[in-house]
Amino acid sequence: MPQRYFFNLVGPTQAIEDSTGVEADTPDQAEAEARAVIVEMRASGDLPDLGPGWHLEIRDRAGRLVRSILLG
């Protein structure tokens, strides 16, 4: 059964929270979706180099950290 996962960009001094999220069957599927979006956004220029210390947090509906992906 699909769950909703949220992708938050978190840096050393600020965070950008995802209030919409995506539906995925497993945490692995959510991570694959997140990685695909990162590649797409970097290729289009919508995700500039954020610098050191930035990562993407994948959280479930309850707010629990499922995965963390280093971006910078």
Residues paired with residue 8 on neighbouring β-strands, in sequence order = 57
pTM assigned to the model? 0.84
d(CA 65, CA 6): 10
Q: What is the pLDDT of residue 38?
A: 82
Q: What is the pLDDT of residue 21?
A: 94
Identity of the amino acid at 66: V
> For residue 22, what is the DSSP state?
E
Long-range CB contacts (within 8 A, 24+) of 38-45:
38/69, 38/71
Q: What is the pLDDT of residue 50?
A: 74
State the greatest distance between any 2 C-alpha atoms of the chain, in Å, as a whole number: 37
pLDDT means over runs of 10, the chain (72 residues): 94 91 95 89 80 91 94 76
Q: What is the pLDDT of residue 42?
A: 82
